[in-house]
Amino acid sequence: MLNPSDKQNGTGEFVSTPFFENIISRTLHYLRAGFPVHFVGPTGVGKSSLALYIAKQLKRKVTVIRGHHELSNKDLLGQYSGVRKKEIIDNYIHTVFKKEQEIKPVWIDGQLIEAVKNGHVVIYDEFSRSLPEANNIFLSLLEEKVLPLYGNGKNSFIKCHPDFLIIFTSNPDEYAGTFHTQDALLDRLITIHLDSCDRETEIEILNQKTGLKKHEAEEVVRLVTNLRSYGNGFCPSLRATIMIAAVAKKSNIEITPTDIQYQALCMDVLIRPMTQILPKQPPVKIRELILKEILRREEKK
């Protein structure tokens, strides 16, 4: 269930529809059998939201790790940070003064440690944005069920809790800012490719997340779906439809093609993604194209 503030802001719980139910069911089967799952797909198709929703179905603590190019073993495993100083002064006998001092380095556990020890569900979001070297530790974690501890003098590894599970998400390799994932790691994952959701699902998402009426959600989805046909079918993403729907609902903008405020809202949200898929077109042509698609239904009448 969504609370009122979630609906108004276009946020809140994942919207489960028939389009996603089959993916959710398969993923839960794989995870419960002990296999890690990898969701791959273009930005905005809902990989992270889907992973979080599935993790919650497992009724365990969830640890989220965000991939980025500066992520290292220190972030995942831990590192020494500062020292702990202990000092004992003994002056029990007035004429005798004793002083003992002990200094120990302090080890700070990384993000993976507690999750592996206690059997959390880990979501490693956008893991291909991390350097491949940082992801090497997952090879032994997934294969031998042990987590190697580099730099910790006490222990060389931690045994993986039997309930530990992990879901990876990533964009395709051709996306900027991503690194090619080593085949050895991909070979240990069950990879599910996610595409844009169908029209009925997108309408239902807008209805539940923003509170738009069905005919209003249909109009926003119609516009964005038509614009996607100019590119690869993914851009503008679902995020764009949610932005338009959420702002229109909260600002009481009438979702009709001839409404000036609605046209301006669509322009502001959609010009950037349309420029991305039509880079050779000047801004004025992009605006004309968006306006044409806004009014397309009016032209047919």
- Give the DSSP per-residue string, 80-141: EEEEEEEEEEE-SSTT--EEEEEEEEEEEE-HHHHHHHHTPEEEEETGGGS-HHHHTHHHHH
Backbone angles phi and psi of 159, in degrees to 5: -75, 140
Q: 259-291: per-residue pLDDT in tens?
A: 999 999 999 999 999 999 999 999 999 999 999
pLDDT of residue 1: 27
Regarding whether 160 and 50 lie in a shared domain, the answer is yes
Regarding whether 60 and 158 lie in a shared domain, the answer is yes
Residue 2 forms part of a structural domain? no
Regarding whether 136 and 97 lie in a shared domain, the answer is no
Enclosing domain of residue 219: 199-300
Residue 8 forms part of a structural domain? no
pLDDT of residue 178: 85
pLDDT of residue 46: 87
Regarding whether 185 and 248 lie in a shared domain, the answer is no
pLDDT of residue 75: 85
* DSSP H or E stretch at residue 257: none
pLDDT of residue 2: 31
Q: In the chain, which residues have pLDDT < 70?
A: 1-13, 79-99, 101-102, 105-107, 151-155, 297-301
Regarding whether 39 and 137 lie in a shared domain, the answer is yes
Regarding whether 290 and 211 lie in a shared domain, the answer is yes
Regarding whether 167 and 216 lie in a shared domain, the answer is no
Domain end, chosen from 193, 225, 253, is at 193
Regarding whether 85 and 70 lie in a shared domain, the answer is no
Regarding whether 222 and 93 lie in a shared domain, the answer is no
Regarding whether 245 and 135 lie in a shared domain, the answer is no
Using alpha carbons, list the distances in angstroms from residue 224 to 2, 7, 301: 25, 21, 20
Name beta bridge partners: 148: 157
Domain end, chosen from 142, 171, 193, is at 193
